[in-house]
Chains A and B, each alone.
Chain A
Amino acid sequence: MTSVVAPGAPSIRSSRRHGGALLQFLRYVAVQVGQAAVALLGVTTAVFFALRLSGDPARLLASENATAVDIENLRRQLGLDQPVWRQYLDYLGGLLHGDLGFSYVQHQPVLTLIGQRMPYTINLAVAALVLTAVFGISVGFIMALSRGGWAERVLMPLVVVGQAMPVFWVGILLVLFFSVTLQLLPSTGSGGLISLVLPAITLASHSTATVARVTRGAVLEQLSRDYVRTARSKGVGTFRLVWRHLLRNVSIPIVTLLALEVANLLGGAVITELIFAWPGIGQLTEQSLTARDFPVVQGIVILSAAIYIAVNLLADIIYGVIDPRTTVSEKGATG
């Protein structure tokens, strides 16, 4: 039985199975959380050992006049003279108690450092995600609905440019135009909403273009479906068509993409934060990686992995809400 259920109609199957649904859902969540824990342990292990292969923080910390003995002393104080497996077990032990360690360079607990910077990165990522969703989806719809028309001809090159331009290039152009030439918006800094504008646009530029392109493709695919033709022949207007029918049917690929873009937004934040002197996690990552501040880098990577996993878990659950045909049991079974 292939389900050709009209979009928006409640699924008969899922309502019939209502009693077992909660149990199924809980089992699904348990499996997902278990997988997430394994993934996190994998990430922790990989970043821990990879960092230790990449260079010696004691050498970077030591002054230029330092002797081998000075460096050895620094290493001992940082605990880097211990066998790696021992350092690893100690670190895992700390993690279990919620202790992410102490920064070699900044002499503060890692959790404090991340806590200070996290709000900035979240603000920036959320602002960029909102811009991406609003502009990406609407531009995608406009391009699809005006296929071959002037709107598409204007927007398409912009989308291509948005995808092709590196983030730092977009950022520097925006600064030159809005800050240096027009003197409208601050060139760098993090004081208030006004200083969020340029970084958010910069960060969103690439994702917006990607979402627009995918939305356009998805809408075009739907437009050729029978139900659209039927709706149109019944005299349903474009607005109602989009709102009542198309939006829901194209939302699965878009939600998937947006969830993936969260990772890109967090990753792209490194460059954006550097250009705009935005004191978020991205800047902290760059500083700490350059200085081989192992505990900070580990903390950031583990936390980012946790966020990424959580967002994708959330996306999985949203599928079920958007489209009841995608019941959790099916998702749980298929992956």
Chain B
Amino acid sequence: VSWRTPMSVVAVATLAVLTGCSTGGAGPTGTGTTSLVADLGGYPATFDPGLQYDTDSYSVYRNIYDQLLHRDAKTNEVVPWLATEWKQTAPTTWTFAIRDNVKFSDGAPLTADDVAFSIRRILDPKFASQQNSNFSAIASVAAQGQTLTIKTKAPSPTLLSFLTTLSVVPKAYLEKVGNEAFNQKPIGSGPYAVASTIAGAEVVLKRNDSWWGKAPAIQTVTFRAVPEVASRIADLQSGKAQIATALTPDSAQQIKGNSSLQVLSTPTERVAYLAFNTINGGATNDPAVRKAISLGIDYQSLIDGLQNGYAKPVNSVLTPLATGYPKSLPNYTYKQAEAKALVQQSGKAGQTVVMATSPAFSSQIVQAIQANLQAIGLKVKIQNYDQAAYLKKVQSPDHSWGAVRFGQWSCSCLDADGVAYPLFHTGSIWSSYTNPKFDTLVEKARNTIDAAQRDQLYEQAYRILNTDLPGIGLFQIETIYGASSKLQWKPDAQQSFFVADMSLSS
């Protein structure tokens, strides 16, 4: 809803002005060393990990279930979790050995059959899982004892990546109670189990003492749904919460001055980008105009001024965390005079370009880009839709959404395939661009297993993108948490919120 944005800005600004005089006495009072209160932006939509995977649901339920694989928090390498080892036995066949002696919190043992069931239900069209497309490379799954075999439709280099997001559910319990009851009363094998819930307000998880891993330090964690970022900050300042997620760069500034609080941030795989309509965009159909825009953006100001440094430069519509990031390409540069000259030469000076956006995107950044483009001689009309209408417009097959749009992209797969393909491949719902050479390269890369060969293919593909410029990367976004200074935890690139990795000092 559009009033949310201005409201949050004013609220945060008020906090900024008024907390200057109140930081002295304010500080977390602490609720003991083994219980943690975490403020999320919203209440989890579901506890069923086969359905939603929005950040709030994900932050909660990933603590209740075990995932098939994990990523190392430091190196981002895929590491064992429920699967202790795995092998690719043929180009399209993978086998996984499932950890022994893992039990669901109702006492039932976790077997390969539960893993197979967890995948099959996501693939079942009737279940209408939001995550269906993440696993759609899978042709079939088979389980035998503690061995799981996955066959893919074609060789799939991103299979393991998506399996790090697979939370395993108990087949027997689910078949007994049904999807709806399971969502109400979820049972998993993870380090925590649901103790109580107040719909829309809070979820209390208790440590699962029969968990197979190293016993977590935190015994009880209460996730609270606090939609307003200013309220989450107030909760930190008054000691009601020990950690708050999804802070904005502005709001992070406010807890920096408070000695009992800390800001935790880390670069994520989410890339901020501009996409151009190269098919039906008016002025942006002209590659010279797109080139001019790529030179006319003051990248560093966006990072320093608007993201308050919570961002990193990129050289493409991808982040350096992703497999296939074209390391050899130069970063984008800001050359306003050159950009201006290009616009003049193209004969498009003074033409109006329509910039489509929604309240999901920072209006400050959108306006900064507008100012950048106007400075090089284009007129920019910002067309603000709400998110649902925005998607309808941008994804409509007639490409009538305007000329430029700002976006933020994450495929939750740390792979170039999850960005280049849906954003720029001919006919993808987000793409207003077509180049058969680029299409061939990304199609080939998506079915190539060899990492070095894939890197090469993506380097060529991104080289084409940086010439044709159907889009430009603006920066890599950092995720920002506010926390009590007593909390010990390092956030990771996947925005995993594993409470088992956290501890509180007294």
Measured CB to CB, the residues of A under 8 A from B are 54-57, 59-68, 70-71, 73-74, 76-78, 105-108, 113, 116-117, 120, 166, 168-169, 172-173, 175-176, 179-181, 183, 186-190, 271, 274-280, 283-284, 286-287, 289-292
Contacts and interface: CB of A to CB of B under 8 A. Distances in A.
Interface hub of A57, A61, A63, A287 (most chain B Cβ within 10 A): A63
Interface hub of A166, A175, A277 (most chain B Cβ within 10 A): A277
Contacts of A190: 198, 201
A59 B391 contact: yes
A271 B392 contact: no
Contact of A189 (B14, B19, B224): B224
Interface in B92-150: 125-126, 128, 130-134, 136
B411 A65 contact: yes
Contacts of A56: 388, 391-392
Contacts of B283: none
B240 A188 contact: yes
Given A117-B200, A287-B42, A289-B1, 8 more contacts: A63-B134, A65-B411, A70-B132, A73-B132, A105-B45, A173-B14, A274-B231, A279-B200
A205 to B, nearest CB: 16
Contacts of A105: 45-46, 52
A188 B201 CA distance: 10
Contacts of B422: 64-67
Given A70-B132, A277-B226, A187 B179 contact: no
B266 interface: no
A70 B200 contact: no
A55 B389 contact: yes
Given A77-B125, A107-B51, A279-B43, A169 B14 contact: yes
Contacts of B210: none
B429 interface: yes
A68 B133 CA distance: 10
Contact of B14 (A63, A64, A68, A176): A176
Contacts of B386: 54-55, 290
A60 B387 contact: yes
A190 B7 CA distance: 22
Contacts of B392: 55-56, 59
Contacts of A54: 386, 388-389
Question: How many residues of B sit at the interface, in one of the four size bands?
Answer: 35 or more
26 contacts: A55-B388, A60-B387, A60-B388, A63-B130, A63-B134, A65-B422, A66-B132, A67-B429, A70-B132, A77-B125, A78-B128, A107-B48, A107-B179, A113-B199, A176-B234, A186-B240, A187-B238, A188-B39, A188-B224, A188-B235, A190-B201, A277-B228, A278-B201, A286-B1, A286-B4, A290-B1
B342 to A, nearest CB: 32
Interface string B230-251: 1100110111100000000000
A180 B199 contact: no
A276 B133 CA distance: 37
A277 B225 contact: yes
A157 B236 CA distance: 34
B395 A59 contact: yes
A189 B179 CA distance: 30
Contact of A181 (B26, B134, B228): B26
Given A64-B422, A106-B45, A286-B227, A168 B7 contact: yes
B391 A116 contact: no
B200 A65 contact: no
B128 A73 contact: yes
B180 interface: yes
A93 to B, nearest CB: 21
Interface string B407-435: 00111110000100010000011000000
Looking at chain A's contact residues, the main secondary structure is helix
Contacts of A280: 200
Contacts of B200: 116-117, 120, 279-280, 283-284
B154 interface: no
B18 A176 contact: yes
Nearest to B199: A116
Nearest to A70: B133
A274 B227 contact: yes
Contacts of B387: 55, 60, 290
A169 B7 CA distance: 8
Contact of A279 (B132, B199, B428): B199
Given A70-B132, A180-B22, A277 B231 contact: yes
Contacts of A276: 231
B25 interface: yes
B43 A65 contact: no
Nearest to A285: B1
B1 A188 contact: no
Nearest to A66: B133
B48 to A, nearest CB: 7
Contacts of B418: 64-65
B10 interface: yes
B349 interface: no
Nearest to B198: A279
B53 interface: yes
A335 B51 CA distance: 51
B183 interface: yes
B371 interface: no
B132 A188 contact: no
Contacts of B239: 183
A143 B489 CA distance: 57
Contacts of A107: 46, 48, 51, 179-180, 183
Contacts of B409: 64
A67 B428 contact: yes
Nearest to B239: A183
Given A181-B22, A186-B240, A279-B43, A168 B11 contact: yes
Contacts of B134: 63, 65
B251 to A, nearest CB: 12
Contacts of B179: 107
Contacts of A284: 200
B266 to A, nearest CB: 20
A78 B25 CA distance: 52
- Which 7 interchain pairs have the tightest Cβ spacing? A55-B388, A279-B200, A77-B128, A279-B201, A116-B199, A277-B226, A187-B234
B382 interface: no
A322 B459 CA distance: 81
B25 A66 contact: no
Interface in B357-395: 386-389, 391-392, 395
Interface hub of A271, A278, A279, A289 (most chain B Cβ within 10 A): A279
